[in-house]
């Protein structure tokens, strides 16, 4: 089919450095990409155990390897460096300092600017994909907390509290810094302008001192919210029964049971609304800073979870559309499968008398990742291997895209984010359903998983 809608591909600096600017830009042109997203970082191969491991291991659960070779390998340890020399004066009002340039900066930093120049000359827009609440050296005092005031364990996403003034002041300085260093970029794609929900501990945020002050200032009864959210946490960690889960097998897909639970814990609904207001407020500040330092034409495109996860994360697509040029809900189907396993294992360990089958079916129902969830087990889910199709059928993905399109009501363009990880046929399936949807375009994350067969698929499905 022929499709001329928006097509963006995330290309992090490591592959630009590994393959060269010209080769990467040529592949973008080959598939008909209209945009690329990169990061202001350059990397080099590192000795084992030093730096960070690529691809990310997602708390030890991911078996991912790249499709493309990075410095001659499909997975490896890398060390990174900022790609430019930050202006320290911009950070005077923030307790966070910018990253310090290192040898990689002086040796290879220029490649990011060269890539931006070459891509723009080729008619490809370039965006920076950065964390929305992830200053370098994030302090514990700026992290979200559980209702008991403690930090959650085993967080996959090391994000800060959306209410932290320290995080927000850093964001303003960072945006200003990047626009001064790279004036040709078209905009920003902040990741996680919400509270991630990979694990239950991440879900049950945010009761940090920052969020409590913010909530009280904005009229929320934080004590009743904390009481009910903690009661729900306790119920999930020792109070569940097979009988309670049975309602989620009803033809209404558990709607009655879910509403009954919300009635039992009315503060939970206020907590969800509080997180939604926090997310919208964070995006407003991103928009204000981008406009101040880059002008109103500089774009803001928010990466986000898909419904119904966003009810928990706080990303309200209608509110986000008030501040964003675009929203990119993630079709990260390998993570959806992993979350069934992560949530299920924790709940099962805390409720030893619970049967695994109704629990697995309940989670699949609540996450809306199967139209007909029959008997299943937690081990049916988890992280798919590189050659294993993602166990999420088309219909739930199509339904989720439609929900986002309805929520934004045309105020922001919708460009779902398809992950390149997985076997080529399954990747084509997931890309095709976006092409056939009412979405305005697509982003593909990320270049390292796009081998030659997948590049051909993109050109065939989208170009």
CATH number at residue 438: 3.20.20.80
Residue 204 lies in a domain: no
Q: Which domain holds residue 133?
A: 6-196+280-343+393-462
Is residue 273 scored above 70 in pLDDT?
Answer: yes
CA angle (126, 131, 135) in 5-degree steps: 125
Q: Does residue 211 belong to any structural domain of this protein?
A: no
* CA separation for the pair 333, 431 (Å, rounded): 12
Three-class DSSP category at 8 = strand
Which carries the bigger pLDDT value, residue 342 or residue 373? Answer: 342
1: confidence class by pLDDT, cuts 50, 70, 90: very low
Mean pLDDT of 428-455: 97
Alpha helices (runs of H) in 265-308, residue ranges in sequence order = 266-294
Domain-embedded: residue 268: no
Query: What is the arithmetic mean of pLDDT over 234-251?
Result: 89
**Residue 427 included in any domain:** yes
**Locus of tokens 């155990």:** 49
Rounded distance between C-alpha atoms, residue 434 and residue 462, angstroms: 10
Report pTM. Answer: 0.94
Q: Percent of the chain scored above 70 by pLDDT? A: 98
CB 207 within 8 A of CB 146: yes
Count of domains in the chain? 1
DSSP 418: E
What pLDDT is attached to residue 59? 63
269: in domain: no
Where are the extended beta strands (E) located within 113-206?
125-131, 187-191
Residue that has been written with the tokens 């081990």 in this structure: 379
pLDDT at res. 246: 87
> Does position 2 have pLDDT exceeding 60, yes or no?
no
Q: Can you name the residues that pair with 45 across neighbouring β-strands?
A: 78
First to last CA, the chain: 8
Answer yes or no: is 367 within a domain.
Answer: no
Residue with tokens 């202006």: 87
Higher pLDDT, 134 or 56: 134
- The answer to whether the CB of 242 falls within 8 A of the CB of 354 is yes
> Measured between alpha carbons, how far is 205 from 233 in angstroms, rounded to an integer?
11
| Cβ atoms 162, 282 nearer than 8 A | yes
Question: 390-438 pLDDT, tens per residue?
Answer: 999 999 999 999 999 999 999 999 999 999 999 999 999 999 999 999 9
Mean pLDDT of 322-333: 98
User: Which token pair is 306?
Assistant: 């898909």
* Strand stretches in 246-348, DSSP E: 299-304, 326-331
What is the chain's mean pLDDT, rounded? 94
Query: How many Cβ atoms are within 10 Å of 348's Cβ, its own excluded?
Result: 17
Query: Domain for residue 354, yes or no?
Result: no
Q: Is residue 458 part of a domain?
A: yes
| Contact between 328 and 300 (Cβ < 8 Å) | no
């Amino acid at each position: 089919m022929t499709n001329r809608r928006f097509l963006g591909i995330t290309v992090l600096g490591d592959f630009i450095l590994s393959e060269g600017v010209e080769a990467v830009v040529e592949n973008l042109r080959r598939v008909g990409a209209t945009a690329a997203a990169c990061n202001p970082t350059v990397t080099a191969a590192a000795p084992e155990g030093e730096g960070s491991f690529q691809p990310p291991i997602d708390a030890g659960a991911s078996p991912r390897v790249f499709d493309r070779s990075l410095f001659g390998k499909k997975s490896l340890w890398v060390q990174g460096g900022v790609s430019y020399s930050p202006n320290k004066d911009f950070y005077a009002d923030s307790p966070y300092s910018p990253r310090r340039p290192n040898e990689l900066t002086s040796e290879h930093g220029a490649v990011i600017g060269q890539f931006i120049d070459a891509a723009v000359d080729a008619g490809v827009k370039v965006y920076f994909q950065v964390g929305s609440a992830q200053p370098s050296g994030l302090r514990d005092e700026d992290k979200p907390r559980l209702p008991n005031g403690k930090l959650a364990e085993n967080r996959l996403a090391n994000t800060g509290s959306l209410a932290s003034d320290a995080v927000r002041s850093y964001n303003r300085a960072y945006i200003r810094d990047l626009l001064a260093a790279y004036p040709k970029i078209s905009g920003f794609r902040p990741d996680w302008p919400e509270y991630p929900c990979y694990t239950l501990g991440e879900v049950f945020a945010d009761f940090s001192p920052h969020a409590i002050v913010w909530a009280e200032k904005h009229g929320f009864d934080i004590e009743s919210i904390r009481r009910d959210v903690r009661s729900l946490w306790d119920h999930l960690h020792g109070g569940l029964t097979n009988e309670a889960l049975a309602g989620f097998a009803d033809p209404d897909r558990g709607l009655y049971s879910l509403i009954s639970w919300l009635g039992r814990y009315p503060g939970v609904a206020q907590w969800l609304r509080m997180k939604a207001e926090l997310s919208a407020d964070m995006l407003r500040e991103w928009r204000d800073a981008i406009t101040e330092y880059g002008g109103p034409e500089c774009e803001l495109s928010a990466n986000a979870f898909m419904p119904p996860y966003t009810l928990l994360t706080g990303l309200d697509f209608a509110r986000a559309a008030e501040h964003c040029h675009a929203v990119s809900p993630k079709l990260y189907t390998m993570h959806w499968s992993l979350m069934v396993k992560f949530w299920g294992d924790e709940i099962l360990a805390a409720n030893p008398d619970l049967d695994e089958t109704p629990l697995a079916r309940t989670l699949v129902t609540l996450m809306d990742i199967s139209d007909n969830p029959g008997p299943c087990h937690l081990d049916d889910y988890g992280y798919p291997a590189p050659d294993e199709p993602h166990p999420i059928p088309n219909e739930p993905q199509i339904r989720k895209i439609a929900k986002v399109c309805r929520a934004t009501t045309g105020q922001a363009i919708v460009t779902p984010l398809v992950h390149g990880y997985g076997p080529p046929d399954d990747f084509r399936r997931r890309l095709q359903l976006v092409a056939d949807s009412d979405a305005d375009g697509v982003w593909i994350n990320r270049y390292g998983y796009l081998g030659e067969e997948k590049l051909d698929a993109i050109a065939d499905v989208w170009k």
